[in-house]
Amino acid sequence: MGLRMKELIMVKLGGSLITDKSKPYTLREDVLDRMCDEIAETVKAGCRLLIGHGAGSFGHVSAKKYRTNEGFVSDGSAYGLAMVSDDAVGLNRIVVNKLLQRNLNAIHISTSSSSICMNGEIKDFYIKPLEEMLRRGMLPVIHGDVAMDTGKGCCIASTDEEFAYLAKRLGAKKIIMCGKTDGVYDSKEKTIPIITRDNFDEIKKHIYGSDGVADVTGGMIFKIEKSLQMADDGIETWIINGLKENDLKKAILGEKVQCTIIK
């Protein structure tokens, strides 16, 4: 049973999709349950997946309080790092448990103990256990996490950053990112169907965030830029609406859904 026997698809469940980011530590359980059902159907149909999810309202409160992404900035930074880690792992345990309830071989992956960053960018990640898990038919579940950082002491390792590092190294050909809208919106809140390096400079002048609000933080731009880097290695990224029943299932199976494809 070879590592590349089946095409690997990486699926990200957005933190704002599976949690209510306006309410600390609040799960959107109905959404998560449905998405786990769809994942289970595709795995049982023979699809080979790696799952990732954001920290959502579980990691946001402590990360903001302790300014974790700024690094070791105060005497409380080390304790804050531990708190953010605990919050992020808490959500991961819920996601993993939901998948286990569906008889899937789901297993937690810790970025904090497997990687090292420099100024917020993953520079090294020990992937041999991941490779072996995939070879043995496991379903790894990674998440937005904390990491040690040689530049500023510590940082937040987002799921987008994790996927960007791991996709090529694990041989993935497709990434599906689940949010709350039908892909990336333009200034008229219409889905942009295709983004490539050829049209990105023009499109980014009009891009709106995945929640339908102006992308003033650079979050969506960062996501697209990372996806374009992966596209250079032949990896497609689909940004889909996780609130639409069966859209995740269809996207994993390669069926048409209303979304943005970055290639």
Would you tell me how many other CB atoms lie within 10 Å of the CB of residue 46?
7
pLDDT, tens digit (0-9, with 9 covering 90-100), for 34-61: 999 999 999 999 999 999 999 999 998 8
Cα–Cα distance for residue pair 151/148, rounded to 1 Å: 9
Cα–Cα distance for residue pair 206/70, rounded to 1 Å: 29
pLDDT score at 5: 52
Considering the entire predicted model, what is its pTM? 0.92
pLDDT, tens digit (0-9, with 9 covering 90-100), for 178-220: 999 999 998 888 999 999 999 999 888 877 655 544 432 347 8
Instruction: Please identify, in words, the CATH class of the domain defined by 8-262.
Output: alpha beta
Cα–Cα distance for residue pair 153/148, rounded to 1 Å: 6
- Contact (Cβ atoms closer than 8 angstroms) between residue 196 and residue 204: no
pLDDT score at 192: 94
Domain residue spans of the chain = 8-262
Would the pLDDT of 82 be above 90? yes
Q: DSSP string spanning 184-225?
A: -B-TTS-B--EE-HHHHHHHTTS-B-TTSSB--SSHHHHHHH
Would the pLDDT of 68 be above 90? yes
pLDDT score at 84: 97
